[in-house]
Copies of this chain bind each other. A is one copy, B any other.
Amino acid sequence: MEGVGEIFKTGFNVTRLGEGDRVILSGEPIGSWSSLALFEANDVIKVPKRVPIEIAAGLVINTVTAHRMLTDFVELGPGTNVIQNGANSACGQNIIQLCKLWGLVSINIVRNRPNVEELKKQLIDLGANYVYTEEEFNALDEKDFFFTRPKLALNCVGGPLLTRMLKFMAPGATVVTYGGMSYKPITAPTTSFIFDDLTFKGFWLKRWNEDYRNKDKKESMMNELFELSAKGFLHAPAHKFVPFEKFKEALENTLSPKGLVGHKCILDFREMHAEQEKEWAKEREIRKAKEKEEIKRKGAIAKADLEKVMKERERQKTEEKDKGKK
């Protein structure tokens, strides 16, 4: 439910943020799918205008998830191999890009689909080192596996595909699960734990956000991601803006059991209130004009008061001088 919004008005005492600033939610992103909503200043993070809107809209879930999963579980030196399934998901595309940026080798598994060569090219263009369909990966011979064995597996699929992936992992590697797209459980042979020394863990962004909300660790990560996005090193996943009126189309795309649409829909609330926004803009003008008037009026009163005070002081001085002469 992530999204990016623009500040229409700030409350008293809010100095860190101003009208027209772009913000994303810092905690659980509930309420970001609205045309107008009220938040506490501490609940939002300011996004530099240089960050493209389509990246800002998805940053707080997919990019953060990718960043944390590549950072928090395994010490990954440059050249280390990372394997992931569901590699063309929004999160998967972020994983590919961060791997590329950080000098990691990404091995990516996607589901087969009619236009799979196009998808492969798209992921390679993003920075993927290897892309396999599930069938191609299943046909790989463990003995002939020509990569350094991955120290980290990122899993959003589960089921037999993950079980197969385990055979290729380095001893002592970690498997991080963040989704279950296959609707099948995670199954591993006993030997994966005893002899291969694998560790299975999970990642849940909600828990991470609760633990790290308003903490330096989160702030420095967000600044890093803003910087990378602003400079064009991080790209939004394949996407399409859909006006909110057509939200059904967007939801159908997302909920389709096949999920092979190939792009993410970004709900666009901008047009929705275009008329009302004009009114708001007018109101804002009137309000600003009134505020100006008020400031002028207060200024005039203050000036009059000041003149009064100065006159009184002058009078007192003259009086004292007269006393001195006597």
Contacts and interface: CB of A to CB of B under 8 A. Distances in A.
Nearest to A201: B199
A69 to B, nearest CB: 12
A199 B197 contact: no
Interface residues of A, number: 28
A187 B186 contact: yes
A40 to B, nearest CB: 27
Contacts of A163: 185
Instruction: Classify the secondary structure of A's interface with B.
Output: mixed
Interface in A168-219: 176-180, 185-204, 207
Contacts of A200: 188, 193, 198-201
A198 B319 CA distance: 86
A193 B162 CA distance: 14
Contact of A194 (B187, B190, B197, B204): B204
Interface in A211-238: none
A92 interface: no
A187 B190 contact: no
B207 A202 contact: no
A158 interface: yes
B199 A204 contact: no
Contacts of A194: 177-180, 202-204
A189 B185 contact: yes
Contact of A197 (B158, B195, B207): B207
A195 B204 contact: yes
11 contacts: A176-B193, A180-B189, A186-B190, A190-B202, A193-B202, A194-B202, A194-B203, A194-B204, A197-B207, A198-B200, A199-B199
